[in-house]
Structure 1
């Protein structure tokens, strides 16, 4: 019984349906998903057919047909190099984003199908349903896209590739289309927090995947030291009655008006901020 359970509990592969849309084939979508996983680590990789079959469980025929479709993608190069010859796969990220931008602009007028001349055989009108699509309408947030979210992180939090993990982060963001505003707001508040505290930033991939952005929908108390708190800007100067005491928030803590006593202990300030916000 244990042997059976171990066999069933094999390491899964990440399959993104969008890659099926891009390639026009489920098996090619599986192959592209696995390749993208490896591309997130290195732009050019060497993989034998046997290794890919072991990782994806595609049959020899399925893999052969999937590779034919992968070769038609303009952002991936499949080549045979060396003696004995080995199969290499290489991605061009700029071409990939350029292609995705083209796919996102595909439209389907009433009464007819519209296809991209360049990628006609790959995805026809299905591509307009790709989760990479970043076009907005009057009912969505006009300026927030996965690319703008990544750009904000790169500019305001960290420009290190290992922190951005762009391909993986792009996918994670796209899985949360209804959360773009929350992700961006979370990043803005997180950027302030990181800037004030000097703490090491969380990688964007994990920040999104683990929904950490939900913890930063309000600007946080920046803790620079035990007695060095920085109060969120939106609370500075505001007064509240807490447990019968009249308190006013200052930039570095809060003042108990009647006692003329200011509290700057970071932990206490944070507790009061959470209290008045109903956290």
Structure 2
């Protein structure tokens, strides 16, 4: 009977109290969920609705069809989509190749102030883009830029307003982003691994080939994917620098929305946006498993 009384007097109210205490934790997430639905869910639904909506120019009647998606994968739109993928892939690969040794130099540096300075600068430069970045490069390496005139780059065929010029501009913020991404993984490399490889007669190159790079591979691929997504979504820098000289999907979307090329192509622009979302979804589908695998290795 005592056990029954204790159960009635203590255990059951305690369980009920625990449930009541956990309830406000879920309620606290409701504003965040509501904001997510409003900020991301409604625009996504509007984009889906517009991407599949076709308007008859003669009667004004609307219907659902895949004509906009088909149009977004043809002609100039397909060229722009492929151009964005090429630019993003090349910029991401170069950013990863240049960012890795820089991050390694920072990690192995004995000067703590240098490490903090480089990481702080990388955090600033990784978010420096848009029109200010375009203006800085135009003033420096444009047709009448300071370095262009002093070094005679124009006579050597240099052209900032081209595909390769845009790649160099993108590297300005992709390399710092790679440094920020790969530095925690480099910090996770244990010194015991290097010492064990050295004791077994391995050279530095063999250590990196057989030990460090296989461990860092998920983080490297994850950083590469992240750089690709950042370059793929960039708009303001390319718009301010090259305009329509380099075909990019973000510029095609802006032209279609504003009617610079053809009037009434707003839904095609939404279909192009859906194509970008699908590419970004594929990027995230690759990035998240790599990130989890890297965390297990370096934990």
Same fold, judged at TM 0.5 (above) = no
Q: Which has the higher contact order (CA 8 A, sep 6+)?
A: 2
Q: Which one has a bigger Cα radius of gyration? A: 2
Q: Going by fraction, where is strand more abundant, 1 or 2?
A: 1
Q: Going by fraction, where is helix more abundant, 1 or 2?
A: 2
Return the TM-score normalized by structure 1.
Answer: 0.22
Return the TM-score normalized by structure 2.
Answer: 0.21
